[in-house]
Amino acid sequence: MDTFDLVIIGAGPGGYVAAIRAAQLGLKTALVEKRSTLGGTCLNVGCIPSKALLHLSAQFAFVADEKAAAAAGIKTKEVSLDLAALMKRKNAMVGGLVKGVGTLVEKRGVEVVRGTGRLGGDNKVVVKPEDGGDEVRLAAKAILLATGSVPVELPFLKFDGKTVISSDHAIALDKVPEELVVVGAGAIGLELGSVWARLGSKVTVVEMLPRIAAGFDEEVARHLQRSLGRQGLTFELAAKVTGLNAAKGKKKAVLTAERDDQKLTFPADQVLVAVGRRPATRDLGLEDAGVELDDNGRIKTNTTFQTTAKGIYAIGDLIAGPMLAHKGEEEGVAVAEILAGKPGEVDHNLVPNVVYTEPEAASVGLTEAAAKEKGLDVRIGKFSFGANGRAIATGATEGFAKVVADAKTDRILGVHLLGHHTSELIAEAVAHMTYGGSAEDLGRTIHAHPTLSEALKEAGLAVSKSAIHAL
């Protein structure tokens, strides 16, 4: 039996990126994956298909909105949706990407082993092929667990793939539901709620908290809610879901909820449950291997991503920190580098977070409220996209850029954006913060004109009340 320097279980963004980096650094690497394609949840059924659907549904919504199209000089007549064609296009986008990742990994010399992997003791990974063939044992100097996460199921709303659906189903419906009820106003609920609202569903989002997009700046969340409301989404906040009455005859299913003592009912063709994800730790053989979990069911790791079992590492959604693909990727790189004798670390304070609605919410670092809670003295700089030339020329003036800076040192503590394509702008904020940049550094950085990114520069200037295009 060949001994690998590194055997990775799970080929999502964490696992496959770790594999590529490890191979670059000369480590003999195997990547175990049960899906027929690489890329994990993110590329196959998560980030990428949902972004494809957001793009395609936005195009449809634009031409279907006769008034908006006419105002842009486009005359439309009898616009109708071909959902099958739209899904085919989405699948082609995903298909091209996962194929590309497969080629990259293969060309780097990583050995891809198909099947379900588990810890086999004695530095071994046991792989059970999906076709029921003989188990394969792989010997490893180090093992990396990167199996990601699965949707959380509510006990009284079990996924059946028909009436009660998860994001896995909601990216592949073959019919536009007339009434879609979304449980949870987090990233998945807001993004997929937007997609189906654009394609014609009446969407109601039922959220337990009194606000949407928890974790984001409150002002960003408030504006986003208003904007999504204008796009047709209805929000029922501070409402606790209690159950579902099944559909009977021609009658729809009814989701029941409570707000204070008030009973709420929502008729639904389908209910998308998007109340978070849990780490995929089951059936990995963790207990026998001595890999311990923390109180949140995540795998305990030290600063070098090593679990409580020597030589076994874990990254991404399996361990503490935000459940985001790019966080897992960076951790994958860090583990590969640590194993190759280099330093490797990931600062969770610098992980950007984006909700890809229209407008997009994008954020990094401390919010104003979180900074104040920590007792920090802060100064805020804000700039509206309504005063940004490119935003005006694009017809996308909703939202603003907000910089939270330390009042004494001017160091940027956080950046919060709401607006068109702000997912692309947040990287600049991360870069400034990574190098310990100040609001003045951001404000003095030359930005191409006209670009949306100038709003971020102006927000940097606004911290010292020196924004040029604002009074």
CB–CB of 271/278 below 8 Å?
Answer: no
CA pair distance 86, 461, nearest whole angstrom: 43
- Kindly state the tokens that stand for 8: 């990775």
Among 275, 404, 442, 463, binds ligand NAI (CB under 6 A): 275
Q: Given the complex with ligand NAI, which of 149 and 388 has the nearer CB atom?
A: 149
Mark 203-242 with x for binding to ligand NAI (rule: CB under 6 A) and - for no binding: ---xxxx----x-------------------------xx-
Token pair 């950046």 is found at: 415
Supply the minimum distance, in Å, between the C-beta of residue 206 and ligand NAI: 6
Q: Given the complex with ligand NAI, which of 188 and 415 has the nearer CB atom?
A: 188
Q: Does 189 bind ligand NAI (CB under 6 A)?
A: yes
Q: 328 by DSSP, 3-state: which?
A: helix
Q: Does 185 bind ligand NAI (CB under 6 A)?
A: yes
Q: Given the complex with ligand NAI, which of 221 and 339 has the nearer CB atom?
A: 221
Supply the minimum distance, in Å, between the C-beta of residue 236 and ligand NAI: 9
Sign of CA dihedral 428, 434, 439, 444: negative
Among 276, 290, 297, 436, binds ligand NAI (CB under 6 A): 276
What is the Cα 190 distance to its own chain's centre?
A: 11
CA pair distance 254, 356, nearest whole angstrom: 29
Burial label, 409 (beta-carbon count in 10 A; 0-12, 13-18, 19+) = exposed
Supply the minimum distance, in Å, between the C-beta of residue 47 and ligand NAI: 6
- 449 given a catalytic annotation: yes
Size of the site for ligand NAI (CB under 6 A): 25
- Kindly state the tokens that stand for 214: 């928890």
Subset of 346-385 contacting ligand NAI (CB under 6 A): 354-356
Q: Given the complex with ligand NAI, which of 126 and 208 has the nearer CB atom?
A: 208
Supply the minimum distance, in Å, between the C-beta of residue 192 and ligand NAI: 8
CA pair distance 118, 147, nearest whole angstrom: 10
Neighbours of 312 (CB within 10 A): 24
Q: Among 169, 326, 416, 449, which one carries the catalytic annotation?
A: 449
Exposed e or buried b per residue across 422-446, where buried means at least 16 C-beta atoms within 10 angstroms of its C-beta: bbebbebbbebbeeebbbbebbeee
Supply the minimum distance, in Å, between the C-beta of residue 171 and ligand NAI: 11
Look up residue 86 and give its DSSP letter: H
Using CB under 6 A as the criterion, which residues of the chain lie in contact with ligand NAI when the complex forms?
A: 154, 183-189, 191, 206-209, 214, 240-241, 274-277, 323-324, 354-356
